[in-house]
Amino acid sequence: MQIFQTDLLCIGAGLAGERVAIEAADNGFSVTCLSLVPARRSHSSAAQGGMQAALGNSAMGEGDTPDVHFADTVKGSDWGADQECARIFADTAPIAMRQMAFWGVPWNRVVPGEQTYYKGGKPFTAFEKPENEGLIHSRSFGGTAKWRTCYTSDGTGHAVLYTLDNRAAQMGVEVHDKTEAIALIHDGETCMGAIVRCLKTGELSAYLARATLIATGGYGRIYRESTNAVICDGGGHIIALDTGKAVIGNPEAVQFHPTGIVPTDILVTEGCRGDGGTLLDVNQYRFMPDYEPEKAELASRDVVSRRMTEHMRKGLGVKSPYGDHLWLDIRHLGEKHISTKLREVQEICESFLGVDPVHQLIPVRPTQHYSMGGVRTNSDGAAYGLKGLFSAGEACCWDMHGFNRLGGNSLAETIVAGMHVGGKVVEFLQGSDTAFKTDCMREAFSRQQDRIKALIHGANGRENVYAVRNAMFDAIMKGAGIFRNGKDLQESVDKLTDILQRARKVGLRSNGLGANQELAAALKIEGQVKMALCVCYAALKRTESRGAHTREDFPERNDRDWLNRTLATWANLSDDLPTLTYEPATSVFEIPPGERGYGGGKIIPMDTPPVATPKGAKA
C-alpha cells in the first residue's frame, strides 16, 4: 500500500477545492488536491454566466452594496439560508472578485459612454460613467435587484478556474488527477484522510491528512437528465454518508434550470435571459409576463422552471420525440451580441442541435441543475460529526442557498467561501496536531480492497451496475422532480429501497483490471442509491413548498413548522433508510421571514415571528 501524507487533502480540484488549497499553501502548509479529471476539466469550467459580487461599477449596478446582495440571497433562498453565512458571503464577495482580477482573470470591464443593453427582449440605453472606465463590469441574472454578475464573455467558470489553477501551480499545490477518493479514513471522531483509487492504474493508496476537505461538487448525476458533467455523481457525499457520522443537509433541495437544451440537456446560460432572451410556447407566444408580470423571464429559477412546466401541462409545449419543450428566443439580440457575449451558447446550439440561434429558436426545458444540499458544515466550513473534516463549494451545505440558489451565487460561493473556509482550515492546522491511527487506515484500506474483490468475483451477486443505475434514475424522477407530491414520493422511496438491495448485489461483467470504469461505477452505486433515498425521503417528509421544493399537496410555505433544515445521516451501513433530524434554518435573523416578491404562493407564518438582529450580530 502506498501512503501519501499531507497537511490538507482537498478531495476535489474545482474552484472551491483549489481556492481552499491556495489559502493553505499560502500559509506554508502542504496541500494535495485529488480530482477525477485534470483540475481544469472540473465542472466549474462549464459555468458560463458569471459570479455575483456587489461591486456596483456598472450603470445598472449603481447603488449596489453587500446589504442588497445579502437581501437578494436570503429572499432567493426562500428564507432557508443560514443568514450568518449569507452575510459572510455578501461582504467578502467584492474582495474575492478583485483578488481574482489580480491573479489574472480577464473580467469584462466597463466601457464608458452610452451603451445598449436589453431587458425583456427590448433594447435600452444606459450611460456608463467615465470615472468607472476599466473597472469590473456586471450583467443581469435572475432574482437580483441590481446587475451584479461579474463575467468573462460566457466562459466565466473556464477563465476563473484556469487562473486559479495557474495560481495553485505557482503556490506548489499538488494536484493528483485521475484519482478518486472512495472512502474516508476516520475513527468515528476524527477524519484522517482518504482511501484513493488511481484512475490510471486502478491501484489503491492511502492519503493521510491533518485536515480533509470535501469539494467534490454536486450530485446531479443521480438524475438521468442533468446539466451537470458526468463526474458530478455525488462521490464526496457518498463517502461522507458512509462514515455514519457526517451529515447531509437539505438533500431534498434540488434546483432545476429553466434552459437545458433538448435532447442533450446541455445548459444554455441564464445570461441569455439576463441579456434579454425570451421564452415562447408552441404558438411562439411569450407567456412568462402572464405569470410573473414584474420579473417575467427573470424571476428566480425555481419559479421560471415551475411556470414553464405549468404552461406545458396546459398543452402549450412544443411536441418532440423527446417529450414536450418550449422555445428560447435570443434572435433579437443580434448577431454581434450573440457571437461575442454569447459565443458558447452559439457554439452549443450549432454543435449539438444544428441550430443557429441568430436566426432560429432554441428548444429548451427545465433540467436538474444544482444541489443546494450537501455535506452540512458550520459557518467555518467544518463538517458536522467529524473533526478535521471540512467541505466547500457545491458539495457542501454551508448554507447560503437555502432552498433555491440564485444564478451567479454558486460560482461566487466557491471562491468566496473557499477564501473564508480556507482561512478557517489554516487556523485549524495551526492549532492542532493529529495522531494518525494506522489501524484505522489499514482497516479502511482492507475494507475497500475486499469490496473490490467481491465486485470482481461477483461474491455478492451479479446485478448489472448500469441496470441498477437506470432503475435509480427512473425512481428518483418519479417523485423528486419539479412538482412533488406525497403519493409519488412514497412510491419513489419504496422503489429505491428495493433498488438498494439490488445495488448491494452488483457484480462486474468485465475483469476489473487497471483503470476499469465499470468498477468505478460499481464502487459508488450503493452510495448513489442511498443519496437518492436521502433526496426522496427528505422530500416526502417536508410537507410544505419552499424554493425549489414544491409540494402540490402542500402549496404553502410553512414557516410555522418547516423553517428548518433537514439533516440526513446513514447511521448504520446496513440501514435501508436515512435517519432524519432537523435544526433551525438560521440562528440569526437579519431579515425576518417575508415574501419573496415573485412566484406567488401562500405563507403560513411562525407563531412567534423573530425580530431582526442587526448586521453581523450572533443570536
Q: Any idea what DSSP says for residue 79?
A: T
Q: Among the candidate windows 225-233, 289-297, 475-483, 563-571, which touches other proteins by CB under 8 A?
A: 225-233
449 contributes a contact to other proteins by CB under 8 A? no
**Least spacing, CB of residue 229 vs ligand FAD, in Å:** 7
Query: HEC string of 445-496?
Result: HHHHHHHHHHHHHCCCCCECHHHHHHHHHHHHHHHCCCEECHHHHHHHHHHH
Using CA atoms, how far apart are residues 494 and 477, in angstroms rounded to an integer?
A: 13
* Residue 484 appears among annotated catalytic residues: no
Binder to other proteins among 2, 284, 351, 446 (CB under 8 A)?
Answer: 351
Site string for ligand FAD, 12-31 (x = CB under 6 A): xxxxxx--------------
Binder to other proteins among 111, 571, 617, 619 (CB under 8 A)?
Answer: 111
Nearest to other proteins of 456, 531 (CB atom): 456
Which of other proteins, ligand FAD, none has residue 558 at its interface (CB below 5 to 8 Å by kind)?
Answer: none
**Least spacing, CB of residue 613 vs ligand FAD, in Å:** 28
Q: Residue 506 pairs with which residues in a beta bridge?
A: 463
Local structure of 321: helix, strand or coil: coil
Q: Among the candidate windows 284-292, 408-416, 491-499, 587-595, which touches ligand FAD by CB under 6 A?
A: 408-416
Residues whose CB is less than 8 angstroms from the CB of residue 502 and which lie 6 or more positions away in sequence, other chains included: 463, 468, 471
Which of ligand FAD, other proteins, none has residue 408 at its interface (CB below 5 to 8 Å by kind)?
Answer: ligand FAD
DSSP string, 404-454: -PPTTHHHHHHHHHHHHHHHHHHHHHHH------HHHHHHHHHHHHHHHHH
Site string for ligand FAD, 116-155 (x = CB under 6 A): ----------------------------------------
231 contributes a contact to ligand FAD by CB under 6 A? yes
Contact yes or no for 184/445 (Cβ under 8 A): no
**Least spacing, CB of residue 220 vs ligand FAD, in Å:** 7
Sign of CA dihedral 541, 547, 549, 550: positive
Site string for ligand FAD, 259-278 (x = CB under 6 A): --------x-x---------
Quote the crossing angle between the two packed helices 156-170 and 83-103, to the nearest 10°. 70
394 contributes a contact to other proteins by CB under 8 A? no
Q: Among the candidate windows 66-74, 77-85, 514-522, 539-547, which touches other proteins by CB under 8 A?
A: 514-522
- Before 123, cis peptide (omega within 30)? no
**Burial zone of 88 (CB within 10 Å; 0-12 exposed, 13-18 middle, 19+ buried):** buried
Which of ligand FAD, other proteins, none has residue 503 at its interface (CB below 5 to 8 Å by kind)?
Answer: none
Which of other proteins, ligand FAD, none has residue 528 at its interface (CB below 5 to 8 Å by kind)?
Answer: none
Contact yes or no for 262/365 (Cβ under 8 A): yes
Q: How far does Cα 394 stand from its chain's mean position?
A: 4
Alpha carbon dihedral 336, 337, 343, 346, in 10-degree steps, equals -80
544 contributes a contact to ligand FAD by CB under 6 A? no
Which of ligand FAD, other proteins, none has residue 13 at its interface (CB below 5 to 8 Å by kind)?
Answer: ligand FAD
Q: Residue written as cell 414520493?
A: 489
Site string for other proteins, 160-189 (x = CB under 8 A): --x---xx-xx----x-xx-----------
- Catalytic residue chosen out of the listed positions 40, 273, 301, 365: 301
Q: How far does Cα 226 stand from its chain's mean position?
A: 12
153 contributes a contact to other proteins by CB under 8 A? yes
Which cell goes with 303? Answer: 419559479
98 contributes a contact to other proteins by CB under 8 A? yes
Contact yes or no for 327/361 (Cβ under 8 A): yes
43 contributes a contact to ligand FAD by CB under 6 A? yes
Using CB under 6 A, list all residues that contact ligand FAD. 11-17, 34-37, 42-44, 46-51, 156-157, 180-181, 215-217, 227-228, 231-232, 235-236, 267, 269, 369-370, 393-395, 407-412, 414
